[in-house]
Amino acid sequence: MQWQVHHKKSQSAIVGTIIFIIAAFIIAGVMLSLINYNQDVLTTQKNSIQVQQMASLMEKDILAYYNYTNNKIYINVSSMAYPYSYYISGISIILKNGSYMTFDQYSRVSNILNVIVKYANGNQKNYNYLPVSMNPNSSALIIINNINSNPLGISISVVNGKSIAVIPVENLQQLISSLIARGVVNVVPPTKVVYNKYFNVTFSIINMIWYQGIPPSYSNSTWSVSMYYQTLSSYVLIVGIYYYAPNITFSNVPSGYYYYYNVSNIIIPGKNYYYICYPDPPSGIILVNQNTLVNITYNCYFG
Amino acid sequence: MINKRAVSNIVAEIMMILVTLAVGFTLIVYLSSAAGGFVSLTNSNSNQAQLALQQYIVPMGSYISNGNLYFIFNSGPLGVQINGVYINSTIVNTCSILFNKTSYSLSHYIPPDAVVVIKCTNVKPVASLVTVSYNGGEVYAMASPS
């Protein structure tokens, strides 16, 4: 009788063990699947955040402005602050007469569209279709011909992977007018990470508009750059028809992340002409932590 | 007799454990596969929903001219299904989509990276709030008379 009782207990223990093992396997199987699912969700979330960040960077760091003259629209696209490649994928133009024009990859070749891309190595390439590939430090001049009405609003769309941003194209004349009215240029730094104990600001003259064929002949435009409680100034030197861009270097800047800005007086040398510089690239963050010399370039316009 | 029984019990227990392990492994493979299939199906449905939600459009310009409202946008990296247009929170039925030199009625799917124009007729020449609804959500823009 006792033996029989013991036998039943043993069988009961075996059955319990079997149930326990099977339950463990079931739980393990479900857990594995849940882990995989969670990883998929996490990857999707990461991708979504990256797309948003990339679009935000493009909006901040790609600068575009236009000038309308002789029935042509000249759009300059500059992306010296944007450290990645991207595409110019679309153009939208609203004209004062109520009409509009659009260009995209579905428009195919257009007779009135001419995109001249200038690459960092100095090479140029012409396109008359979109999209156009842009490398870091390249710029593009977009010329649209046969425009019989003033533009009211222009914007371009730029693409990097799944990220799309729309860059409003500023009216160069209005930009110049607003800068003259303010007399101050505020500069926010580029996004690219700069390893630099010495911080060097270079002003580059890339274009000049002479008034009635006469070049500016004065040289007293002071540009000041402030960073880490230091303010340094320099001048645009004009000798005859030659222009020498100012250059400012900060030394012994402590390591760290910096927002820097530039406050510049716009001097009008004579009533017939003036000149203006404004920053390119327009925005970002700078990291100072090593001893490499870095140039930040500003574009200066003369008119 | 007793010895034979004892041996038989041990063998039986070993066999039971082996059978349990075999059943367990079969179960884990089956469950993993079944749950994987379920997760995959869920993921697929979820991905489709997420893809639809990830549709986004970027406005490029909007204005009103000669009684027509124009809303220009880029269709984004995934393309976009445009469902409806509201002007000052009122749905408008006079809108069409102009894409690649062809006019389409709403609702309509636009392929990726296209610059597209929505044109609505019989619009009052006053500054208006335009709302465009699409599978990924809504986007707003102000349209003023040019």
Residue A103 has pLDDT above 90, yes or no: yes
The model's pLDDT over A117-128, given as tens digits with 9 standing for 90+, comes to: 888 777 889 999
Query: What are A12-17's contacts with CB under 8 Å, separation 24+?
Result: A14/B13, A14/B16, A17/B20
**Residue of A216, A199, A200 lying closest to A208 (CA atoms):** A216
Contact residues on chain A for B116, CB-CB shorter than 8 A: 102
Q: What CATH superfamily is the domain B58-145?
A: Immunoglobulins (2.60.40.10)
The ipTM of this complex is: 0.70
Residue A195 has pLDDT above 80, yes or no: no
Residue A293 has pLDDT above 80, yes or no: no
Nearest to B114 among A29, A106, A166 (CB): A106
Q: Do A166 and B60 touch (CB under 8 A)?
A: yes
| Residue A8, Cβ density class (10 Å: 0-12 exposed, 13-18 middle, ≥19 buried) | exposed
Reduced to 3 states, what is the DSSP secondary structure of residue A151?
strand
Give pLDDT, residue B30. Answer: 76
Helix A2-61 to helix B2-54 angle, to the nearest 10 degrees? 20
> What confidence category does residue A290 fall into, taking pLDDT thresholds of 50, 70 and 90?
very low
pLDDT, mean of residues A243-247: 60
Q: Do A155 and B60 touch (CB under 8 A)?
A: yes
DSSP state of B89: T
Nearest chain B CA: its distance from A123 CA (Å): 27
Residue A102 has pLDDT above 60, yes or no: yes
- Among B30, B39, B146, pick the best mutation site for testing chain A contact (most A Cβ within 10 A): B146
Q: Where are the domains of chain B?
A: 1-54, 58-145
Model's pTM, two decimal places? 0.62
pLDDT, mean of residues A94-118: 90
Give pLDDT, residue A16. Answer: 77
Q: Do A33 and B39 touch (CB under 8 A)?
A: yes
Q: Do B72 and A26 touch (CB under 8 A)?
A: no
Residue whose entry in the numeric block shows the structure tokens 């995209």:
A104
Task: Report residue A302 as tokens.
Answer: 């003369």
Please give the share of chain A, as a percent, with pLDDT higher than 70: 52
Whether the CB-CB separation of B114 and A103 falls below 8 Å is answered with: no
Q: Do B61 and A92 touch (CB under 8 A)?
A: yes
**Residue of A87, A92, A86, A94 lying closest to A107 (CA atoms):** A92
Who has greater pLDDT, A21 or A167?
A167
Residue A58 C-alpha from the chain's centroid? 4
Q: Which of A60-74, A235-249, A265-279 has the highest mean pLDDT?
A: A60-74
Q: Do A90 and B24 touch (CB under 8 A)?
A: no
Helix %, strand %, coil % of chain B (to 5): 35, 40, 25
Nearest to B43 among A30, A34, A40 (CB): A40
Query: How many beta-carbon pairs below 8 A join chains A and B?
Result: 121
Mean pLDDT of chain A: 68
Q: Does B139 touch chain A (CB under 8 A)?
A: no
| Interatomic CA distance for residues B61 and A166, integer angstroms | 10
Q: Does B76 touch chain A (CB under 8 A)?
A: yes
Contact residues on chain B for A110, CB-CB shorter than 8 A: none
The model's pLDDT over B114-143, given as tens digits with 9 standing for 90+, comes to: 999 999 999 999 999 999 999 888 999 889
Torsion (CA) A116, A119, A125, A128 in degrees, nearest 10: -40
Contact residues on chain A for B63, CB-CB shorter than 8 A: 94, 98, 152-153
Reduced to 3 states, what is the DSSP secondary structure of residue A46?
helix
Please give the share of chain A, as a percent, with pLDDT higher than 90: 16
The model's pLDDT over A47-98, given as tens digits with 9 standing for 90+, comes to: 777 777 788 888 877 878 888 888 889 888 877 667 788 999 999 999 999 9
Nearest chain B CA: its distance from A282 CA (Å): 21
Least confident piece of the model among A52-66, A146-160, A243-257, B26-40: A243-257
Give pLDDT, residue A15. Answer: 74
| Interatomic CA distance for residues A78 and A81, integer angstroms | 9
Q: Does B127 touch chain A (CB under 8 A)?
A: no
Give pLDDT, residue A264. Answer: 45
Task: Report residue A119 as tokens.
Answer: 């690459």
Q: Do A104 and B114 touch (CB under 8 A)?
A: yes
